[in-house]
Amino acid sequence: MAKKSKPNKEFVGEENPNAHILGAGEVVNQRITETLEINYMPYAMSVIMSRAIPEIDGFKPAHRKLLYTMYKMGLLTGARVKSANIVGRTMQLNPHGDAAIYDTMVRLSRGYEALLHPFVDSKGNFGKAYSRDMMWAASRYTEAKLEPICAELFGDIDKDTVDFVDNYDNSMKEPTLLPVSFPSVLVNANTGIAVGMASSICPFNLNEICRVTQELIKDSDYDVGEIIKAPDFIGGGQIIYNPVEMYHIIHEGRGSVRVRARYRYDKSNNCIDVTEIPPTTTAEAIIEKMIEKFKGGSLKEISDVRDETDKKGLKITIDLKRGVDPDKLMLKLYKTTSMEDTFSCNFNVLIGGMPRVLGVKDLLLEWIAFRTECVRRRIYFELSKSKERLHLLEGLQKILLDIDKAIAIIRNTDEEKEVVTNLMIGFGIDEVQAEYVAEIKLRHLNREYILKHTKDIENLKDAIQDMEDILSHPNRVKKLIIKELDAVSKKYGKERRSEIVYQVELEELNEEPTVSDEPVHLFVSQQGYFKKITPQSLRMSGEQKVKDGDAIAASWDTTNDVELLFFSDQRQVYKAKADDFEFTKASTLGEFVPSKLGMDEGESYYDTVVTKNYSGWVLFFFENGKVAKVDLASYNTKTNRKKLIKAYSDKSPLVAVRHIEEDRDFVLVSSVGRHLLFNSGAVAAKTTKDTQGVAVMTLKKGQRLLTVRDYREGEFAKPYRYRTKTLPSLGALLSEEDSAEQMKLE
């Protein structure tokens, strides 16, 4: 039970302004887990549900609130208005600062060039998605309205197609979703970072999405890959087609797309003009990287590089030196700069209030279900209105039989409130019909008016019958959606911007020789002498030869294709392959690791980790009683780097390094002889290599962690004596029984 400190009596009463607040002035001891649940979890859920993750209509709440506000302002057909005016009105739905709302508008605008089909028609400087330094103008200088395609977002919104909820202060209503008539969730790029999850949706061509959606409506088992080959980015570029990655994206919603810049060679000026770049980089980043490479001496083929972007669009100009092959230079730039980059896809979408990662096919099937419900609700709304209209017209038709009688009833009724009742009695109509007739102006009580308004009765009956038939036959609803998709595709569809490249002639790379996977025995001594011995040679050998004062520290029965991580005493790790070492015999000292790997002067070997796939974790035990658990994958690199700095923490001297594939028990011994039985599962893994770790063993002043060893089953008579439920712990001194057993083992 949490303890509460007593409030100071001197501050209770009229002098204390917080005295009337329950619990004010009290200090409550609370577990950190409870604090996270009470304070952080609601925030995390709010970010996931109401901010960062898009829903099936393709919009985040901020997008939806902005666009709906502009729609209610009449900006779908009206003239542009100042952006500041739009931002101010949007704050009625979105209680965030004006800067955040304006940033949202900018990213939806045509001028920013971030979307294949922008929703905001902008005028003024709205910046550029491909430029890091080109900032947009303030909202008071720019103007905006809705693009025509927004008619597909709001076409049925007033026909009860989606649910409405109160805004944050209950002063007005706003839609929970927009009844989009095309799968906008896959047509425009959408990225967001929530708490513990993220979303990154790449854009696809509108024509292709509409076509494949139509096919899925006809056959839910249709192969989406027949039509959709790759995404389509507004910035163009070349997409290097990878069938395996595209399969993952289409079916699983996760994968990556390689995009490279497009260029043209200007022979007359001997320069390269880069006009399209990957969506994940900027012109400034590319130029800065090229300048860095030029200063480093690795890019001597160019004489100048500059940004010549203007109103016509992006343009990075690279001046070449005489005799330079532009195609070979671009291949080099693809490898060394972000002119070739990957767009990582993570199709995380809120479906029914739950975040789900879906592939293209499953996402479209969810959209079809959503749109089907919207269409059914629209037809039901129109059916209800038509029935109401028919009912009124049928009452009006009865008046046609005797207009004079209707006038006489009204004229001879003494009280106004009895007019409706008398009309109901006189013509056999109900109250709604009678009320409608009673409200007709005197000038309209003529045969021409009544005939004109009753001639549509038969048409209304046919329309009602048709709508009822649609609601009872799902295939007719599907045909309506297919027809709408076809109309959207014809009206707003565009040609692909990104070129799909199936075969790319890359610069020939020197492939690394194939490494054999033959069995080997590896040995390393305490001072860092490494041996690789074949099983046959080991069987014929005697004792392992080592230097005086040295001893074999570890050995492994493994294969020749494993990777080796050699940790030094200077917080560095040196990476090598077992194949890098020559085969030797037990009668030799082996190869000295610091010399073989070129360790720094004064740097010494500490320990070794052997791995094939970088699975498991590395445990670092420090003298201060802390233990760091680092994912071994953190030491894996895409490039062939041989040396990594900050391999572990320097906050306390290192006692031991252990590589484990699964959690297990260790025995920690302090300098005063206390033993602690510790399971590595009690420490959470980190990806930061130089993490300080978690306090495991409590040490008093002057004490330190002395040794670490693997726990041997049966080592202690009563293991629970040395194990604790909570960390950190002091451990326990050995019992007499265990002390005797330890002496035997030693």
- The residues that are catalytic are 141
- In one letter, which amino acid is 435? E
Q: Is 199 helix (H, G, I), strand (E, B) or coil?
A: strand
Q: Are 584 and 520 in contact (CB under 8 A)?
A: no
C-alpha atoms less than 13 angstroms from C-alpha of 355 in its C-beta half-sphere: 24
Strand pairing partners for 608?
Answer: 566
- In one letter, which amino acid is 281? T
Q: Are 283 and 314 in contact (CB under 8 A)?
A: yes
Chain Cα centroid distance, residue 391: 53
Alpha-carbon span 465 to 463, nearest angstrom: 5
Strand pairing partners for 564?
Answer: 576, 610
DSSP conformation class of 148: G
Alpha-carbon span 600 to 552, nearest angstrom: 23
Backbone angles phi and psi of 434, in degrees to 5: -65, -40
Rounded CA Rg of the chain: 37
- In one letter, which amino acid is 139? S
Backbone angles phi and psi of 469, in degrees to 5: -65, -40
Pairing of strands 238-240, 499-501: parallel
CA 101-102-106 angle, to 5 degrees, is 120
Chain Cα centroid distance, residue 724: 39
Pairing of strands 519-525, 529-533: antiparallel
To the nearest 10 degrees (0 to 180), the angle between helices 360-400 and 447-454 is: 150
Backbone angles phi and psi of 52, in degrees to 5: -100, -25
**DSSP string across 22-89:** TTTT--B---HHHHIIIIIHHHHHHHIIIIIS-BTTS--HHHHHHHHHHHHTTTTTS--EEHHHHHHH
* Burial label, 718 (beta-carbon count in 10 A; 0-12, 13-18, 19+): exposed
Q: Are 236 and 116 in contact (CB under 8 A)?
A: no
